Amino acid sequence: MNELLPTLPVFIKDVLSGMAYLIPEIILVATFIVVLLADLFFPGRRSSLAFWLCLTGITASVLFVAFKVPSVKGPALLFGNTLVSDAMSSIFKQIFYAVIVLFAIFIRCNPRVKQHKKGSGDLYILLPAVLLGLNLMSMASSLLLIYLSIEMISISSYLMAGYVSGDDKQTEAAMKYVLFGSACSAIMLYGMSLLYGFTGTLTITDPEFLLGLGEMPRSVVVIAVGLVLVGIGFKLSFVPFHFWSPDVYEGAPVPVTAFLSTGPKIAGFAILIRFLGGFSPQQGMGSISVFDFEGVLSAVAILSMVVGNFVAIWQDNIKRMLAYSSIGHTGFILMAVVVSTGSGLKAMMFYLLIYGLMNMSAFMLAGKIEDQSGAVSIKDYRGLGRFLKIEMVCFVVVLMSLTGLPPLAGFIAKFLVFSAVFESYSAGHSMWMLALLVTGAITTVVSLFYYFKVPLNAFLRQSETTPVITARRDILTYIIIVLTFLILLWGVFPGLLI
C-alpha cells in the first residue's frame, strides 16, 4: 500500500483529465438514469416521455462529440491508455448516433411494439446504455475494455431480440442468439487471458504487448489471437460465425433487426481496427509479425462475400434475404480493413456510414410494407407497387444502392473500397488482393439477382388475389424519403460527405 501512495496524485490527475473527454458518455449515463425513472413513474404503451427524454439526452451527447469538447489535435490516451479519443472514434460516435436515433424513431412508429402489453419504455431505457457501449467500443485500447464494451452491447441486444416474444419463432431466435453469443464471448475471454499471460499487459497499444507476443511460440499466439477473433467475428457475423444471423434477423421485431444489422456490426469494425492496431510494429521495434492478418481476414472476406451473396439468392423471406446480404457486405467491408492504409480506412468509414443508412432504410421499408400489407416473403410483394408507390420506389432505390449501382451512394462506397484494394495490389502484387478484387466484382453482380426480385414482384408480377391496401403516411414515411434522397444526393455529390 505504501508503494502506491506516491503514484496516487498522478493517478487522480490522470482520471480527472480523462473525464473531460468522456462528457458525451457521462451524459448518456445520466440519460439512462433519467429515462429509467421517467418510465418507472410515468409508464404507458407509447412511453412518450421516455422517448423524448432519450432523444434529448443522446442529442446532447453527440453535440459534445461534434464540437470536440475538449479540442485536441491528436489522439488523447485516457485512463492509463485504456481508452483513445481521436478522429476515428469521433466519426464512429456520430455514425452510432444516427443509427440510434433512427432506431428510436422506428420503435416509436412500429405497431407491433406499440401495441404490446409491455409497451416500448424498456427499449428506450436501453438506448442510452447501448450508445454508451458503442462509443466505448470505438475508443477501447485495452483488452478489458474491449470485452466489457462488447458485453454491454451483447446483453442489451439479447434483451431487445426477445423483448416482444409473441411466438415460438422469436423465442427460439432469442435463445439461439444468447447461447451462441455467450459461447463466443467465453471463447474470446479465454483468448484475451492467454494474450495477457503472454505479454503481462492488457493495453494493446503498449510496446510490451507486441514484444511479449514476439517472444512466444508462433503457434500459441495464433491460437490466442484466433480465439479473440471469434468474439469479434460474432459481432460482425462473418463466415463461419454467421449462423445466428438469419434466424435472429427473421425472428426479432423489425426495428431490433434493423439495429442488429447496423449498430453492433459497425462497432465490431471499430473494435477490429483497434485490435489490429496493437499488432502494428511501432517505431524502433523493427518488423515483428506474430499473425498473418492479411491472409486470415482475406479468406474470411472472400468466404463471407461468397456465402452471403449466393445463399441470399434462395431466400424468400425478406428479412432472411437482407440478413445474408448483410453477411456479404461484411465481407466487402473487410476488404478495406485488409488494406490497412489511410485510403483503406477512409473507404471503410465512408462505406460504414452509407451501409448504416442503406440497411436501416431497407428494414424500415420492409417493416412498413409488412404493417400495411402483411407481406413477409418476396412472393407476397406481387402487385404491391400499384398500392404502395412511394414505399416501393424508395425500396428500389435503396436496393440499387446496396447493389452498388450508379448514381447512388452505395456505388461510391464500393468504388472507394475497390480503389483502395487495387492501389494495394498495384503496390505489392499480393495474390490475396487480386482474389479480393475478383470476388468482390463477381459477388456484386450476383447480388443483382436477389435484390431485383423485390421490384420484379412489386411492379412486373400480379398477385393471384386482389389486395385492398390503403397507403398510410406517417413520420416514418417521410424519414424513409429523406434517407432515400440522401443516398441519391451523396451518390451524385460524394464530396459533400467525403
* Nearest residue to 300 (alpha-carbon basis) of 268, 263, 337: 337
- pLDDT attached to residue 71: 47
pLDDT for 67-104, tens place per residue?
764 444 567 777 777 888 888 888 899 999 999 999 99
- Characterize 142-181 residue by residue with b for buried, 16 or more Cβ atoms within 10 angstroms of its Cβ, and e for exposed: bbebbbebbbbbbbbbbbbbbbbbeeeebeebbbbbbebb
Axis crossing angle, helix 389-403 with helix 431-451, rounded to the nearest 10: 160
- pLDDT attached to residue 309: 93
Q: Which three cell numbers stand for residue 426?
A: 498495384
Average pLDDT, the chain: 85
* Nearest residue to 324 (alpha-carbon basis) of 247, 229, 436: 247
Dist. CA 72–CA 67, nearest whole Å:
11
Q: C-alpha distances in angstroms, 32 versus 154, 176, 474?
A: 17, 28, 28
- pLDDT attached to residue 3: 58
pTM value is 0.91
pLDDT exceeds cutoff 70 at 357:
yes
* Nearest residue to 413 (alpha-carbon basis) of 294, 329, 470, 483: 329
* Nearest residue to 405 (alpha-carbon basis) of 367, 342, 360, 455: 455
pLDDT exceeds cutoff 60 at 377:
yes
Least confident of 18-22, 42-46, 129-133: 42-46
pLDDT for 134-166, tens place per residue?
999 998 888 999 999 999 998 888 888 877 766
Backbone region of residue 223 per phi and psi (left: phi > 0; alpha: psi in -120 to 50; beta: other values) = alpha
- pLDDT attached to residue 207: 82
* Nearest residue to 213 (alpha-carbon basis) of 229, 190, 227, 197: 197
Burial of 277 (0-12, 13-18, 19+ CB in 10 A): middle
Dist. CA 438–CA 435, nearest whole Å:
5
Q: Are 187 and 230 in contact (CB under 8 A)?
A: yes
Q: Are 233 and 227 in contact (CB under 8 A)?
A: no
Instruction: Output DSSP code: residue 278.
Output: T
Q: How confident is the model at residue 345 (pLDDT cuts 50, 70, 90)?
A: confident
- pLDDT attached to residue 441: 93
Dist. CA 246–CA 452, nearest whole Å:
20
Q: Which amino acid is at 401?
A: S
Q: How confident is the model at residue 10 (pLDDT cuts 50, 70, 90)?
A: low
- pLDDT attached to residue 51: 87
pLDDT for 385-425, tens place per residue?
888 888 899 999 999 999 999 899 999 999 999 999 999 88
Q: Are 120 and 108 in contact (CB under 8 A)?
A: yes
Report domain extents, the chain: 292-497
Q: How confident is the model over 424-428, as a mean pLDDT?
A: 85
> Which one is predicted more confidently, 313 or 41?
313
